[in-house]
């Protein structure tokens, strides 16, 4: 497909974080851009603010006429859109060029020097750190991010087109559409078993992804994963290694060993060793673009973060409020470790919204174990996203499995009153559903109280 021949780009599911980054890209290169989403959000409002037309009803009649010319329009859709979607069916049956988001990302980045970040956890944080490092050291990059970078206040960055940074998403085997020059794998925990069936099949897909790396390319792998590559880790024998790690004033200070040198007194301000590992592999990848190690180390210290990735919303002596996208037991464990490492001896209230019936069912025991580690737990109903309910799979079932007696099932309308009743020292909201829309309300109410 030649993008030069495309005049119009229409998105089905334009409000998704990955889709909206692509929409920004096409708008930036002067294509006509429009789309559908089922819900208006701050993200869709921002897209409308830069001149992108969006409607919220699945109706072909709501699409501007210019986008109904099959010779000039590319249709991009997300796998989260059901096959029965009316607009999707119209484009499918009327000769339009229809591509998944991942396919379009592959086409855009094919002729660039592509950095691809893969892994069941850590993709967005790692790719955001990598984009920040490359930008700070003057590399001409285009970055498509799966979250809002607090450094760019966007999920899209265009500083040039020679290099690209993308997330290599394992969902729906999307990452097999990419052909990166440089890739990393941060983690391979069982997830998306509705797609893969077994953990072994998921791991096979990651191995297939490594074959997509271009000749003379490089693969970075977290130490301990069952795939060969350049390793990275903390206090071990990795090729890129963090040593002499300590915490000062809420930041990590450490020495960073590379195959060629050791950088001393490096600073990283994001809590959590999982985030520290993300920063380390971003650093290792950025070196491959020719950036000097000392400048990259300085840039690591200035990384602000990603919205909803261990984001401090309130940080006062009396109250700390952290929001995180964690929606898998491994991610919840990482958040738990980070908060107790950075704020020892404090009482922590966790508010969790499970994401997907299938994921809750597949990992019910692991979720219960992870959530039991907090001092107190408030549980919301399962956010269904693309799924239909599964009989017996409910938040009540999960609540009964949690061993900690300080637990309660609540609805979103009662979040703030429940928090005030418990009067905790630290609050964490977690989940990949619409709990993110509650964050500013909670912050505003609790800031007022403080």
pLDDT, one tens digit per residue, over 374-387 is: 999 999 999 998 78
Residue 386 lies in a domain: yes
Q: pLDDT tens-digit profile of 43-88? A: 999 999 999 999 999 999 999 999 999 999 999 998 888 899 999 9
Instruction: Evaluate whether residue 85 is within a structural domain.
Output: yes
Confidence tier at 193 by pLDDT (50, 70, 90): low
Whether residue 306 is contained in a domain is answered as: no
**Residue positions forming the annotated binding site:** 119-125
- Determine contact, residues 297/332, Cβ cutoff 8 Å: no
Q: How is residue 153 annotated by DSSP?
A: T
Contact of 246 with 253, CB cutoff 8 Å: yes
Per-position DSSP letters for 306-349, written without gaps between them: BTTSSEEEEE-SS-EEEEE---SHHHHHHHHHHHHHHSTT--EE
Using CA atoms, how far residue 401 sits from 290, 376, 407, 412, in Å, is 51, 14, 11, 21
Percent of the chain residues past pLDDT 70, beyond the cut: 97
362 is in which domain, residue-wise?
311-449
CATH number for the domain harbouring residue 40: 3.40.50.720
Average pLDDT on 353-368 reads 96
Q: 261-315 pLDDT, tens per residue?
A: 999 999 999 999 999 999 999 999 999 888 899 999 999 999 999 998 889 999 9
pLDDT at 225: 93
Question: Is residue 219 included in any domain, yes or no?
Answer: yes
Query: pLDDT at position 194, please?
Result: 65
Output the average pLDDT for the chain. Answer: 93
| Statement to judge: residues 400 and 440 lie in one domain | yes
Q: Is the pLDDT of residue 9 over 70?
A: yes
- Show the beta-strand stretches assigned E in 28-96: 32-36, 53-55, 73-77
CA distances from 363 to 181, 381, 431 (A): 34, 16, 15
Cβ atoms of 232 and 223 within 8 Å: the answer is: yes
77 assigned to some structural domain: yes
Residue 15 CB partners (closer than 8 Å, separation 6+): 35, 37, 39, 40, 41, 43, 44, 47, 54
Q: Are 238 and 352 within one domain?
A: no
Question: Does 286 share its domain with 427?
Answer: no
Say yes or no: 84 and 221 in one domain: no
Confidence grade of residue 175 (pLDDT, cut at 50, 70, 90): confident
**Residue range 239-265, pLDDT digits in tens:** 999 999 999 888 999 999 999 999 999
Distance from the Cα of residue 405 to its chain's centroid: 32
Domain final position from 101, 126, 145: 101
pLDDT of residue 277: 97
| pLDDT of 317 | 87
The per-residue pLDDT for 448 is 59
Q: Is residue 70 part of a domain?
A: yes
Confidence of residue 13 (pLDDT cuts 50, 70, 90): very high
pLDDT at residue 450 is higher than 60: no
Can you read off the two tokens belonging to residue 56? 């919220």
Same domain for 241 and 114? yes
Q: Give the end of a domain, one of 51, 71, 101.
A: 101
- Give a yes or no: residue 62 inside a domain: yes
**pLDDT exceeds cutoff 90 at 173:** no
Radius of gyration of the chain (CA): 22
pLDDT digits (tens, 9 = 90+) for 406-418: 999 999 999 999 9
Sequence-distant (6+) residues with CB within 8 A of 329 are: 363, 366, 367, 369, 370
List binding-site positions for ATP: 119-125
Q: How confident is the model at residue 125 (pLDDT cuts 50, 70, 90)?
A: very high
| 80 shares its domain with 142 | no
Has residue 350 been placed in a domain?
Answer: yes
| DSSP category for residue 387 | P
Q: Which residue has the tokens 């592959």?
A: 106
d(CA 74, CA 219): 33
In terms of domains, do 294 and 316 share one?
Answer: no
- Name the residue among 431, 419, 434 with its Cα closest to residue 314: 419
List of residues 6+ apart from 308 with CB closer than 8 A: 147, 148, 323, 324, 325, 436, 439
3-state secondary structure of 133: helix
- SS3 of the chain: helix, strand, coil, percent, to 5: 40, 25, 35
Structure tokens at 358: 């299938």
How far apart CA 292 and CA 297 sit, in angstroms, is 9
> 302 to each of 59, 136, 251, 295, how far by Cα in Å?
46, 9, 11, 11
* One domain for residues 194 and 71: no
* Cα separation, 40 vs 437, whole angstroms: 12
What pLDDT is stored for residue 247 in this prediction? 92
Biggest CA pair distance of the chain: 63
| Residues 195 and 171: beta-carbon distance below 8 Å | yes
The yes-or-no verdict on residue 128 having pLDDT over 60 is yes
Residue 7 has a pLDDT of 94
158/295 same-domain check = yes
Q: For residue 190, what pLDDT is reported? A: 63
How many domains is the chain partitioned into structurally? 3
């Amino acid at each position: 497909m030649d993008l030069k021949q495309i005049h119009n780009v229409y998105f089905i599911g334009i409000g998704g974080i990955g889709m909206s980054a692509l929409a920004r890209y096409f708008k930036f290169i002067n294509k006509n851009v429009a789309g559908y989403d089922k819900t208006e959000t701050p993200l869709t409002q921002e897209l409308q603010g830069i001149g992108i037309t969006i409607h919220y009803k699945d109706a072909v009649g709501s699409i501007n006429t210019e986008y109904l010319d099959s010779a000039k329009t590319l249709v991009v859709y997300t796998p989260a859109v059901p096959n029965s979607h009316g607009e999707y069916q119209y484009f499918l049956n009327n000769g339009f060029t229809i591509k998944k988001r991942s396919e379009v990302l592959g086409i855009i980045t094919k002729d660039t020097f592509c950095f691809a970040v893969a892994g069941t956890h850590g993709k967005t944080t790692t790719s955001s750190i990598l984009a920040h490092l490359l930008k700070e050291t003057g590399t001409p990059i285009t970055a498509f991010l799966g979250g809002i970078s607090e450094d760019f206040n966007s999920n899209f960055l265009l500083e040039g087109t020679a290099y690209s940074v993308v997330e290599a998403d394992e969902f729906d085997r999307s990452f097999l559409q990419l052909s990166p020059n440089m890739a990393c794998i941060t983690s391979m925990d069982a997830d998306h078993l509705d797609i893969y069936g077994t953990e072994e099949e998921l791991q096979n897909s990651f191995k297939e992804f490594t074959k997509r790396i271009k000749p003379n390319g490089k693969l970075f792998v977290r130490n301990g994963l069952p795939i060969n590559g350049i390793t990275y880790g903390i206090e071990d024998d990795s090729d890129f290694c963090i040593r002499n790690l300590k915490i000062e004033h809420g930041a990590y200070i450490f020495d960073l060993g590379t195959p060629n040198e050791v950088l001393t007194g490096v600073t990283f301000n994001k809590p959590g060793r999982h985030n520290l590992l993300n920063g380390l592999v971003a650093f290792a990848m950025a070196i491959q673009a020719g950036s000097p190690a000392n400048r990259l180390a300085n840039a690591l210290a200035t990384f602000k973060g990603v919205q909803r990735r261990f984001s401090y919303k309130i940080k006062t002596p009396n109250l700390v409020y952290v929001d995180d996208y964690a929606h898998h037991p491994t991610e919840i464990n990482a958040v738990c470790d980070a908060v107790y490492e950075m704020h020892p001896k404090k009482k922590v209230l966790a508010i969790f919204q499970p994401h997907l019936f299938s994921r809750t069912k597949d990992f019910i025991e692991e979720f219960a174990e992870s959530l039991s580690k907090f001092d107190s737990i408030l549980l919301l109903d399962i956010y269904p996203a693309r799924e239909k309910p599964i009989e017996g799979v409910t938040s009540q079932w999960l609540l009964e499995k949690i061993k900690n007696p300080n637990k309660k099932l609540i609805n979103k309308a009662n979040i703030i009153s429940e928090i005030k009743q418990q009067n905790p020292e630290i609050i964490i909201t977690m989940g990949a559903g619409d709990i993110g829309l509650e964050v500013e309300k909670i912050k505003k109410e609790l800031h007022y109280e403080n």
